Amino acid sequence: MKTLLKTILIAPFALLVLGFALANRSAITISLDPLALFDPPLIFTVPLFLPILLSLILGVLLGGIAMWFSEGRHRRAAKIHLRDLERQRRETEELRREKNLPPLPPSTMIG
């Protein structure tokens, strides 16, 4: 079911990207030396869609990495809370055993 949903979502996007690439095939010249106006030493001739798509991909990757680093404290807090929850669950089970009470049903345990 997940793969079907992924296919349904990704296929139209891939067709749009393909259509964009086919519509923007004209060649452009990219110079990597902004100071040499008349005879730049580093020149690349690429299709127009290539720098656009590469910049979008780079932006998505950099944004994802930035979000991953910025959410690190939330992941750390979640890990600490899960560790505390496990410790409290073990403590509850030990106390129930000491008082000879039946163990908690599995549906009430988290984790």
Q: Residue 30's beta-bridge partner residues?
A: 44
**What number is the average pLDDT over the span 42-68?**
94
State the Cα–Cα distance between residues 18 and 64, nearest whole angstrom. Answer: 24
Q: How confident is the model at residue 53 (pLDDT cuts 50, 70, 90)?
A: very high
DSSP 109: -
Region 4-9: what's the mean pLDDT? 89
Q: What does the domain layout of the chain look like in residue ranges?
A: 1-70, 72-111
User: Which tokens sit at 35?
Assistant: 């100071």
Distance, CA of 61 to CA of 37 (rounded, Å): 32
What is the model's pTM? 0.64
Mean pLDDT on 9-19: 91
Predicted local distance difference test score (pLDDT) of residue 2: 84
Residue 109 pLDDT > 70, yes or no? no
The DSSP bridge pattern shows strands 27-31 and 43-47 to be antiparallel
